[in-house]
Amino acid sequence: MLRKNTGRCWNVTVVEPDDRIEAILKILASAKCTVKLGRPRSEAGNRYAENELINLCQKMDGVIVNSRDRYTSNFFASLPELRVLSKVGRGVERIDLKAATEKGVLVTHTPNRENYLAMAEATIALMLALAKQLKAKMEYARVGHWTMGSGTMLWGKTVGIIGFGRIGSRVAYLLSHWGCRILAYSPTTPREKFDLTEAEPVTLERLLRESDFVTIHIDIRKDNQALIGERELRMMKETAYLINTSRGLALDEEALIRALREKRIAGAALDVFEPEPPAKNNPLITGEFGDNVIITPHSIGTTKEQVRLAEVSAENVVKALNGIVPEHVANPEVIPAWIERTRKLDAKRP
CATH number at 178 reads 3.40.50.720
Please indicate, yes or no, if residue 46 is contained in any of the structural domains: yes
- Residue 51: pLDDT above 80? yes
CB atoms within 10 A of CB 241: 27
- Residue 5: pLDDT above 80? no
Same-domain status, 182 and 35 = no
pLDDT of residue 6: 52
197-245 pLDDT, tens digit per residue, is 889 999 999 999 999 999 999 998 888 999 999 999 999 999 999 999 9
The average confidence (pLDDT) of the chain is: 93
Same-domain status, 280 and 318 = no
Count the domains in the chain.
2
Please indicate, yes or no, if residue 1 is contained in any of the structural domains: no
145-189 pLDDT, tens digit per residue, is 887 778 999 999 999 999 999 999 999 999 998 999 999 999 999
Annotated catalytic sites, by residue?
Answer: 247, 276, 298
pLDDT of residue 341: 95
Q: Is the peptide bond before 111 cis (omega within 30 degrees of 0)?
A: no
Please indicate, yes or no, if residue 333 is contained in any of the structural domains: yes
- The count of residues in the chain is 350
- The beta-strand segments (E) located in the chain are 10-14, 33-37, 62-65, 84-87, 106-108, 158-162, 181-185, 200-201, 213-216, 241-244, 267-270, 293-295
Compute CA distances 192 → 169, 178, 201, 204, whole Å.
12, 22, 10, 19
pTM, 2 dp: 0.87
Same-domain status, 147 and 241 = yes
pLDDT of residue 44: 63
Residue 5 CB partners (closer than 8 Å, separation 6+): 30, 31, 32, 322
Q: What's the domain range around 101?
A: 10-109+304-348
